[in-house]
Amino acid sequence: MKESKRAKTLEGELDGVDLISNLPDRVLQLILSRLQGTEEAIRSSILSRRWRYLWTSIPSIDIDYTRGLEHDPQMVLESIGFKNFVSWVLLNKPIDLDSFRLRCADYYDMTTIRQWIHAAVVRKVKQLDLMFSPIDESEDIEMPYCLVTCGSLEVLRLCLLGYHLCLPKITGFSALRVLELNDVTLKKGDLVKYFLESCPLLEDLSLLHCYADKLVIACPKLKNLRIENRERIFDYETEDYIDCRMSSSVTICCPKLVLLNLTGSVSRDFILYNLYSLKKAVILCRDFLNQLDPPCDFFERISQVESLSISLYCVGQAYWPEEDEPVSLPNLKTLEITVDAVHRLIPFLKCFPDLESLHLIFINESSLLDLMEKFFYRADKCKLKNAATINFVTPRLKKVEFHDYDEEHLALARALLENGSALEEMVFIWIDEAKFHEKSLETMNQVSNFHKASSNVKLRFVIKPRQTESILAPKRFEVDSSKCSSNSSIKLLGC
């Protein structure tokens, strides 16, 4: 009799639905929060009574019109449409919101959008992520007063699809730490300056594909600044691409700034000062020539950086090592440089004798011939042409990466191996998997036979496709150069 009851109990425990439904609320809420959007969480309500209202206890809302709420036949609320669905979800969320993400494009008027924003503010939302372009607005969009005065909001991400945003003239956003504006036009530069200064806790600012005349960023507590813009846009009238510079000038005064990222067509005039805390800079601007200050001033203003990512094109616009005074970045340990005109690469590297990590990204293969002929090898390509120069670059260099590596780069790799007495690792990275399988073994055998000043240096050969770089670990081959010869085997570590 006891065995029969136990068998029934085990049978019930093996029922997958019952096992899941019996989990604590916090666990079930975590499961629902990992689903794609609020609509998926609502669908779970049909599973059982236990699940019927469980979605209302999740402190987040994520609704995106691109997921086809209005046209999905399985949608619980298909008959009321997207607008009523959003309102219904907000009405059935009695708890405070950690986050509210809404993508509604140009389907609704500003009155409706303000109502949704107000509903989120009333629920003490902490993170607000909105993408819209109201169909009834022909003038600047004014930021709702309730949003400006929201004391709980810590993160605001706003995408207006090119619409003009009128920033408030009052002090607000008392708790705002992160602000991201995407595809927003900010006409009045003085309001931008006042707005940023009036956010007392702002630490992270991103301006993506925006427009603001004479942009001034002066934030006492800002730590991360990211300004990115498209290099060109397509003009349907002329049927051609045109430049789309973000601003006529950019002034940055942030004494607590740690990370600075300037990418794309941002401005031709940069004025930087009081960047005492800057540790990392990414300078990949298309137009970089400063019209007001001497070219070398830009590097003097970021002299505290420990990590710098820059293209040689930018270097060529702002600084010429053979003509100007040497740039001084005494703390620089890591340099990532996109090589598109490499004939001045080595003179630039001479400015950083304490460099420990060098990442070379090649995008113009033909120009490498100039580098090899001028600095390294002539006809025989066996003897170093300028040992004094390369020795000056490599005394503390520990790691070198070659991105999108090809055969023409062997001279540079050889020179660094022969003179890098502190070198610990050299990595060869291919983006093209087919090229990797075709060239990696041959390259490995060639590089393995080069003389090495460091007996501890390791060689790595890596596939790193762009589309999977941030999702999958790259396939990697590793060779210990102290033990390898031209017939060395390769060990596949994994993918």
> Which pLDDT does position 152 carry in this prediction?
95
> Which pLDDT does position 253 carry in this prediction?
93
Which is nearest to 360 in space by CA: 351, 370, 369, 368? Answer: 368
User: Up-side HSE of residue 163: CA atoms within 13 Å toward CB?
Assistant: 23
Phi/psi for 23 (5° steps) reads: -70, 155
How many residues comprise the chain? Answer: 495
Tokens representing residue 424 in the block: 């610990």
E strand spans, 97-213: 99-105, 127-132, 141-142, 155-159, 165-166, 178-182, 185-186, 204-208, 211-212
Q: Are 328 and 302 contacting, i.e. CB atoms less than 8 angstroms apart?
A: no
Q: Where are the alpha helices (DSSP H) in 48-129?
A: 81-91, 110-122
CB atoms within 10 A of CB 405: 24
Q: Please state, in angstroms and rounded to a whole number, the distance separating the CA atoms of residues 269 and 251.
A: 8
- Radius of gyration, CA atoms only, the chain: 28
Q: Are 475 and 462 contacting, i.e. CB atoms less than 8 angstroms apart?
A: yes
Ranges of residues in the chain with a pLDDT under 50 are 1-2, 5-16, 69-71, 73-80, 235-236, 241, 290-295, 365-388, 467-495
* DSSP β-ladder status, 357-362 and 334-339: parallel
Kindly report, residue by residue over 76-101, the tens digit of the pLDDT: 344 347 788 888 888 888 788 999 99
State the DSSP string of 411-438: HHHHHHHHH-TT--EEEEEES-HHHHHH
pTM: 0.79
* Residue type for position 262: L
Give 236's contacts (C-beta < 8 A, 6+ positions apart): none
> Which pLDDT does position 248 carry in this prediction?
82
CB atoms within 10 A of CB 382: 9
Q: Please state, in angstroms and rounded to a whole number, the distance separating the CA atoms of residues 139 and 461.
A: 55
Kindly report, residue by residue over 410-466, the tens digit of the pLDDT: 888 888 888 888 999 999 888 888 878 887 888 888 888 898 989 899 999 888 765
Tokens representing residue 72 in the block: 């999905």
* Residue type for position 268: R
Which is nearest to 248 in space by CA: 218, 263, 269? Answer: 269
Give 197's contacts (C-beta < 8 A, 6+ positions apart): 218, 219
